[in-house]
A and B are shown apart, each in its own frame.
Chain A
């Protein structure tokens, strides 16, 4: 059997270059197939489009926002509380600031929060999950997984509120607070995948050939966790943005006069129902971006599920 295989390989005479080329081609083919499947689902496309749109708004805010000076300390009482018009598409708030401009800048804070929290949480959570899962039933497993149990014992929003309130309220501390509550989810996710894989033949085979533990964990097991991690990241961007908005709604996140979306909703509630636009458009802005990430995440999940199945 082994002899036959060697001769078969020799017969085709594959050079290293050929293998690299074949790999590139198959990779391109896979991407093409994935994109085809993804683009067949209109909801995923709407989600992806929304996210691209919002990200562009956030990045190019100074050029897109009609009144960029309105995000700084600014008052214009002559134009206060104007309903939506051609000059101010979303109207103006109680001190005359253009709400559309503030919403566009608000996206900057929301996305910064989401990206930063995930950038902190995903590597930490994933590595801990891999280690705990690979050493299942040994002390790293017990230590790490029991710690996640404790952090998961408090509803995330409550823990984030508590931590943010104990620290100085601002965007940075809000991100720290949410990160502290969020890493256990990734640890759990990766742990459950790793424990399922650690006895598979490809893992045993690398152990037998003398591969190092870090090689097995990061090169053999980690690649199998990538698709669920990406799906979860897309869905979590939405959750983190909601939690960030909740924190700033009660004054524990982005501080005025900076335009946090939650802060804007909160400050507008005093003028409801007459000046509805002050709260309504920032609230709508939250819903739009979270919906985008959810649609994208669901699209990714269906995509990966189809690949695995």
Chain B
């Protein structure tokens, strides 16, 4: 199978995933106790007010009719109007998605940037003090709750040293990146711990492989062996891990976005679930599912590049 066919096949796989997720999220959202009307009107709602709003929103129609309406609209590229915010869902997601994508991308870059060199050092120095030190520090990173790390970074680097703004998002791309650096670092710390441990183990394993001995006996320098042969092979499983973690990272963004006041889709998702804002929950789940699917596809492509056997 060549690369183009593989990509096409993977893209096609997204379609049934999309449909299945659409159905599941439609049903799940409605299984939650309460509905948009009770969330909206709160404790003061009278029966009349509730009935009237139900009718206005079409929530009095049978579920299957609501589902068909939803699928039909989505096929026309229309995700409907947010119940709580009264604006088109597409517009609100388009407004909020970039912040989360930038935050996730930045966090991934930072995590990889931190983890790969340190894993390399830890593995090549295995059993000596640099290895212990690196692993101990990352253990702390891994076991600290995100909201706590976030507040700590804010207190020290933003409120204390004033190197960064205390949360927010700023105006313009440069300001966005500047504002997102601390939240991205927060996310990256625990993420990089996962990558570091995985990569360190992989490097140690590859170092035991016969081809490494062979390469060395061929007279290749230690540097060439380590970078061209060991690291490339060890990175294979790490790339899979990074790809799989994108979903988890999006999940972690929910808390980070709240602590750092970043207007991303993580916060939007939580607010929408609290408001039982069905159109937003549905659309957002679908959009996130596509992003995760694309991340998996990207992972496959990188793997193919690292190890041509994957494409065969």
Do the two shown chains form a genuine complex with each other? no
Interface residues of A (CB under 8 A from B): none
